Amino acid sequence: MPELPEVETVRKGLNQTTLNQPIVGADVLLDSAIAHPCPVEFIAQINNTTINHWYRRGKYLLAQLQAPSQPSNPIFTSKDPIETQTSDGGWLGVHLRMTGQLLWCTSDQSLPKHTRVRLFLPEERELRFVDQRTFGKIWLVPPHLAVMDVISGLRELGPEPLSDEFSPEYLATKLRRSQRPIKTALLDQSILAGLGNIYADEALFLARIQPTTPSCRLSPDQLNRLYTHIVAVLQQAIADGGTTIRNFLNVQGVNGNYGSHAWVYQRGGKPCRVCQTPITKIKLSGRGTHFCPMCQPQLNCDLP
């Protein structure tokens, strides 16, 4: 599933390719890809709107739409959370889920087998939603409604890991009474929005914390390290364009590069990059989890 760095990579690409161009038509090839409204209304309502800007909240992509004949007027400020905003042109919301892709194409490019929705733009360009597993969803939020009134999952999200709301103190408050393994807690989107399996494994390795450690047993020093490495890993992954394991592509169809130098993720049985001990892979709360049994939780490994 695309995580925060992958979704942020897509967001940046969409802002480089799709802004200030009218959507001159749409085609829904799989009705279930449209979560709201019905496909016929989706096509009618999105026609002739213009994308002012793409935003990200957790793993959601959100485009502020401009109504026909209305001036461009992005309305977010740093103090206005996405969930409370309305827009004269409504909002386009996308969740890629496991295998979703948004691809910026010319209209003469062959249609991928699993194309679910097409948005047509000027100069024979289009934005295609491709999704092999069909779990991804698209919403069209009507004008003058807040995004969270239609996309209910936004109500459940915790703070962004790269925001001022996230801190070691925040982690301490959220985890101090939790018996859940720390890896499981980090995947809870109500605690931290956007963090997923790949980067939880990576941050825990760099913080020298065993993924199965009960959350409430983390020391202040461990919480500080964990905070630092969550932020650093996400920033590095964004700089690398995310991670491609199977399906992730940016809007130009290019793979992400982070996976080529991942510390532990998808490296089960391979030697640790620090101590050469084989990386262990286990199932934890139903998710594949990777760690080094020597470096985690030992405190004396020479890690960056």
Helix (H), strand (E) at residue 230: helix 220-239
Q: What is the pLDDT along the chain (304 residues), one digit of tens a residue?
A: 799 999 999 999 999 999 999 999 999 999 999 999 999 999 999 999 999 999 999 999 999 999 886 655 554 433 444 655 667 789 999 999 999 999 999 999 999 999 999 999 999 999 999 999 999 999 999 998 889 999 999 999 999 999 999 999 999 999 999 999 999 999 999 999 999 999 999 999 999 999 999 999 999 999 999 999 999 999 999 999 988 666 667 787 777 778 888 999 999 999 999 999 999 999 998 999 999 999 996 544 444 4
**2 tagged catalytic:** yes
In this structure, which CATH number among 1.25.40.10, 1.20.120.330, 3.40.50.1370, 3.20.190.10 belongs to the domain 4-155?
Answer: 3.20.190.10
Of the candidates 237, 231, 261, 268, the one whose C-alpha atom is nearest the C-alpha of residue 250 is 237
Q: What fold does the segment set 168-291 form as a domain? A: Helicase, Ruva Protein; domain 3 (1.10.8)
Cβ neighbours of 16 (radius 10 Å): 12
Cβ neighbours of 268 (radius 10 Å): 15
In angstroms, the CA 205 to CA 225 distance is: 10
Percent of the chain with pLDDT over 90: 80
Among all chains, which residue has been given the structure tokens 């890991």? 161
Q: Active site residue: 2, 39, 161, 181, which one? A: 2
In angstroms, the CA 243 to CA 199 distance is: 10
Residues tagged in the binding site annotation? 114, 133
**165 tagged catalytic:** no
In angstroms, the CA 248 to CA 243 distance is: 7
In angstroms, the CA 140 to CA 119 distance is: 13
Say what the pLDDT of residue 70 is. 62
In angstroms, the CA 183 to CA 287 distance is: 10
Percent of the chain with pLDDT over 70: 89
Q: Active site residue: 125, 214, 287, 293, which one? A: 287
Cβ neighbours of 28 (radius 10 Å): 18
Could you tell me the residue ranges of all domains in the chain?
4-155, 168-291
Say what the pLDDT of residue 255 is. 72
Q: Active site residue: 3, 8, 126, 160, which one? A: 3
Among all chains, which residue has been given the structure tokens 């700089």? 239
pTM exceeds 0.85 for this model: yes
Q: Active site residue: 59, 137, 208, 225, which one? A: 59
Residues tagged in the binding site annotation for DNA? 114, 133
**12 tagged catalytic:** no
Of the candidates 106, 29, 100, 114, the one whose C-alpha atom is nearest the C-alpha of residue 61 is 100
pLDDT tens-place string over residues 46-90: 999 999 999 999 999 999 999 886 655 554 433 444 655 667 789
Say what the pLDDT of residue 48 is. 95
**287 tagged catalytic:** yes
